[in-house]
Amino acid sequence: MAWGWIVGSTSLSMAYPEILISVSFLLSFFFFFFSYRLRRHKLPLNLPVVGMVPDFFAHISRIHDYATEFLAAAKWTFVFKGPWLLGMDMTITCDPDNVNYVFVTRSSNYPKGEEFAEIFDIFGDSLLNSDGEAWRSQRKMIHSLMSNRRFRSYELKASRDKVEKRLIPLLQGVGEQNNVVDLQDVFLRLTFDTACSLILGVDPGCLADDFPDVPFAKALGDAEEVIFLRHIVPKFWWKALRWLGVGEEKKLAMAHRVMDDFVTSTITRRKESISKEIGSREDGEDDEEAAADLLTVYMRQPTVREKNALEFDKFIKDNALNLLLAGRDTTAATLTWFFWLLSMHPHAEHEILEELKRHWPAAPDETPNPNTPFDRDGLGKLVYLHAALCECLRLYPPIHAQTREVAKPDVLPSGEKVRPGTLLVFHAYSMGRMEGIWGKDCMEFKPERWITESGDLRHEPAPKFFAFSCGSRICQGKDMAFIHMKTVAAAMLRNFRFEVVEGHVVEPKLSIILHMKNGLMVKVCKRERSVVTRSSGGRSSEEVTRERGDCCSMADWAPVVVGVVLFVLLSPGLVLEAPGTHRAVDFGSMRTNGKAVVLHTLVFFALYSVIIVALRLHIYTG
């Protein structure tokens, strides 16, 4: 074997070979022992040189559950070791005290940072990417736009319009033709049309019977995947690819161009028409019927009209893309997980339908009723629906993790010391699944936990319910998101039943947003008067993994089995007597070749890591 030649070709002899043999055996033993113990305790395996990266990649197909397991084992905070010298160590936490400390109490010491801005470079100098004064002034402006009275009523109207005129007729068509449809795709199209209408005042018509190709939507999906990759590969690697313009980075550059072209051309067209509109109206005259999207509201502000064109364009362009991402993907992802959860929990679906019946008294006739009779107050009465959405966001937060940098050395409430250069990762997904935070039933979907004894909605503090972030950077679209999601869910559930296609596997996609990897394939059936809900044919990836129970136990034993087999295979280079050759150890004379022992051990570790990674990848990806 090549390794045997390498091992044998070194020449340094050492006295006391027994010590080296013992060290080698001890190392191997500890390696087996700790790797086995760590896996039993669900902690990642930390290897020399490569750190925990092989273990991480071995579990990448179930990355969120993997993080949940090791955070639970580590009591909510864990220092993840990257390869030596690459600066990829990170402190991962799901401890609400740490969240409160970093996002609220001492937020000035924990900026998003320059690395975040670089990773999210396609969003320019937008709100999402900035810190300090630049962030504060943009946040203030966006807050004033989103709380504008005309925008607030337009928001509800636009949302209802899309549901009544597009979504319900489309689903009705799918149901009548007995077709199967991907609900995730439907929601992404719907929320893209709605977000464009609300932000830019145009409807791209993405949600249509023929499901047209939408380059912007595909580009945004590609960008989300590549930005996720930037988080998990070494910095120098993705930067080199970006510089060379190849691989995934080329995909991102192309996606960026498509998105930029769309936003720029739309804004240019809208600016002209809004200017004409404003010009044709007398000063101070306020037309209640006129469009009141964010761009229009922004342009109608007297202070903005005085701004120079460059300042204006920069603010709008940088933030439009930011808001489209914020508004489209988060809401669509939540709705997708929500409908999947309902398909698995008929009781919750039944409760929502009962609530809808109470507040939507007219019984549906033979044809689906597209009209959603809910205004802001009406939606406010749908407490159970709201609770079910919160429960979905607890278990499947679309922004599954957030990062922060450290400005000055500090100690977190959990006791971890942090200093400049430490990357903090707050894993919202794990936070919703910790027994110590949500109780023994934390893994169950129970909307009831959000309802008080008096029937009101239970408020949970933001550091605990972290789906919308917390502190000064809490999501600005939370209200808007609930209005839209409740309008969509109420209309869909009132009119249709959804059956997840038998055997469809549901699992998260590797992306900055928690989308479903395979979408959500469903059959659409018209809702009958007597509501009969059925449990779903779809299965979660966790269920699939559970079904492969033998594989899991095999995964637990894999480090030990591989270690023993590898050691036996490698042993000829270490222990066999071979006069005249330069083996690591010549048992005949008990002479040891020092370099060869080191090499032997390194080869052992390297092969061990590769085999374990390959094995685990095979086991978990099937």
Nearest-angstrom CA–CA distance, 52 and 45: 6
Note whether 467 binds ligand HEM by CB under 6 A: yes
How many chain residues bind ligand HEM (CB under 6 A)?
23
Tokens representing residue 227 in the block: 């930005």
Residue 199: name the closest of 376, 319, 332 by CA. Answer: 319
107 binds ligand HEM (CB under 6 A): no
199 versus 596: smaller Cβ distance to ligand HEM = 199
Question: Residues 233, 425, 475, 578: which binds ligand HEM (CB under 6 A)?
Answer: 475
* Burial class, 89, CB count within 10 angstroms (exposed 0-12 / middle 13-18 / buried 19+): middle
481 binds ligand HEM (CB under 6 A): yes
- Is 327 a binding residue for ligand HEM by CB under 6 A? The answer is yes
Q: How far is CA 375 from CA 154, 195, 273, 359, 370, in A?
A: 12, 19, 30, 12, 15
Task: Output the known binding site.
Answer: 475
Quick check: 326 binds ligand HEM (CB under 6 A)?
A: yes
Nearer of residues 477 and 559 to ligand HEM, judged by Cβ: 477
- Taking the complex as a whole, the smallest distance from the CB of residue 313 to ligand HEM amounts, in Å, to 19
Helix axes 215-232, 247-280, angle to 10 degrees: 130
Residue indicated by tokens 């988060």: 330
Complex with ligand HEM: residue 227 or 399, whichever CB lies closer: 399
Pick the stretch among 93-101, 221-229, 468-476, 568-576 that binds ligand HEM (CB under 6 A). Answer: 468-476
In the complex, the smallest distance separating the C-beta of residue 616 from ligand HEM, rounded to whole angstroms, is 30
* Of the residues 469, 487, 545, 593, which one makes contact with ligand HEM according to CB under 6 A: 469
In one letter, which amino acid is 180?
V
CB of 342 to ligand HEM, least distance (A): 16
Query: Whose Cβ is closer to ligand HEM: residue 47's or residue 99's?
Result: 99
Contact, 154 vs 198, CB < 8 A? yes
398 lines the binding site for ligand HEM (CB under 6 A): yes
Dihedral sign, Cα of residue 263, residue 265, residue 268, residue 272: negative
Q: Does 200 bind ligand HEM (CB under 6 A)?
A: no
Least distance to ligand HEM from the beta carbon of 220, Å?
14
Part in contact with ligand HEM (CB under 6 A); list of ranges 13-21, 319-327, 380-388, 452-460: 319-327
Cα 229 to chain centroid distance, Å, stands at 12
Residue 531 phi/psi, 5-degree rounding, is: -80, 120
CB of 245 to ligand HEM, least distance (A): 27
Q: Which residue is nearest to ligand HEM (CB)?
A: 477
Binding mask 583-602 for ligand HEM (x = CB under 6 A): --------------------
- The DSSP string of 338-406 is HHHHHHH-HHHHHHHHHHHHHHS-SPP-SS--------HHHHHT-HHHHHHHHHHHHHS-SS-EEEE--
Residue 511 engages ligand HEM in binding (rule: CB under 6 A)? no
Region near ligand HEM per CB under 6 A, out of 44-52, 66-74, 348-356, 476-484: 476-484
On the 0-12 / 13-18 / 19+ scale of CB atoms within 10 A, 2 is exposed
Distance CA 426, CA 78 (A): 11
- Per-residue x/- mask for ligand HEM, residues 110 to 149, rule CB under 6 A? -----------------xx----------x--x-------
Query: Which DSSP string do the residues of 114-141 spell out, in sequence order?
Result: HHHHHHTGGGTT-GGG--HHHHHHHHHH
Q: Does 414 bind ligand HEM (CB under 6 A)?
A: no
Binding-site members for heme are 475
Q: Does position 473 bind ligand HEM by CB under 6 A?
A: yes
Identity of the residue, 139 or 251, whose beta carbon is nearer to ligand HEM in the bound complex:
139
CB 385, CB 484: distance < 8 Å: no
Q: Which residue from 77, 148, 343, 402 is in contact with ligand HEM, where contact means CB under 6 A?
A: 402
* Residue 216: other Cβ atoms inside 10 A: 22
Residues lying near ligand HEM in the complex (CB under 6 A) are found at 127-128, 139, 142, 323, 326-327, 330-331, 334, 393, 398-399, 402, 467-469, 473, 475-477, 480-481
